[in-house]
Amino acid sequence: MPVKEYEIEKMDTATGRWVRVGKVPASETGSPSYEVTGLVPGQEYQFRVVAVNDEGDSDPLTTTSATLAKNPFDEPGKPGTPDIIDYDNESVELKWGSPKSDGGAPIEKYIIEKKDKNKKDWEKAGEVPGDKTTGKVSGLQEGNEYQFRIVAVNKAGPGTPSDPTKSHIAKHRACK
């Protein structure tokens, strides 16, 4: 009898219980496939497939080993330390190097962060597309001292921030 469909099951190795996650009609052209969603990152799973026809179910075909659920990409590496290439009393222009590793997915964007000397936390100051390694931060308070750093972002999320710039006082460039 011809196969009508394939049933797909998963087992969380921590619980040992098999749960049906879906089925695929046998009429699909080529090799049938199924994307299992809702997996918990960090958990290990085994999978099995059962062929079904009018006579009943086949013996299951089970994976030989457990699979760790994780994002197929890693976070990008740390970008190069930014350099201040131009500035005035209200802004700075920064340039940095790309991270050594993109984590297996293209860099989608860079987040520029700033930290006022009188504050404890870093805050987002700007964002540029992943194909640019320069950016401008505006809205600085003249006379305040700042540091800047860069965070690369890909499909897996933000990576480790770059080392910060040396302290910079927001002031006119051509002052005596």
pLDDT class for 176, splitting at 50, 70, 90? Answer: low
Closest CA to 4 of 34, 32, 24: 24
* Angle formed at CA 40 by CA 36 and CA 43, multiple of 5 degrees: 105
Position 118 scores a pLDDT of 84
Report the C-alpha gap between 166 and 141 in whole angstroms.
17
67, 13 Cβ separation under 8 angstroms: no
Tell me the domain boundaries of the chain: 5-68, 83-169
Same topology for domains 5-68 and 83-169, yes or no?
A: yes
CA-to-CA distance for 3 and 110, rounded, in angstroms?
Answer: 51
DSSP 61-129: EE-SS-EE---SSPPP-PPPPPEEEEE-SS-EEEE-PPPS--TTS---EEEEEEEETT-SS-EEEEEEE
pLDDT at 31: 77
The CATH architecture one would assign to domain 5-68 is Sandwich (2.60)
Q: Average per-residue pLDDT in the chain?
A: 92
Instruction: Give the pLDDT band of residue 27 (cuts 50, 70, 90).
Output: confident
Please, which pLDDT band fits residue 161 given cuts at 50, 70 and 90?
Answer: very high
With H, G, I as helix, E, B as strand and everything else as coil, classify residue 34.
coil
pLDDT tens readout for residues 58-80: 999 999 999 999 888 899 999 99
Higher-pLDDT residue of 144 and 27 is 144
Res 8: pLDDT: 95
46: confidence class by pLDDT, cuts 50, 70, 90: very high
Q: Count of H helices and E strands in the chain?
A: 0, 14
Question: Look-up: residue for tokens 């597309």?
Answer: 129
* Angle value at C-alpha 142, between 138 and 146, nearest 5 degrees: 70
Look up residue 49 and give its amino acid.
V
Has this prediction a pTM greater than 0.85?
no
Q: What's the rounded Cα separation, in Å, for the pair 36 and 19? A: 12
Q: What is the pLDDT of residue 138?
A: 95
* % pLDDT > 90, the chain: 81
Q: Which DSSP state fits 55? A: T
Q: Per residue in 86-115, pLDDT tens?
A: 999 999 999 999 999 999 999 999 999 999
The CB-side HSE value for 103 (13 A sphere, CA atoms) comes to 22
Structure confidence at residue 29 (pLDDT): 60
The CATH code of the domain at 83-169 is 2.60.40.10
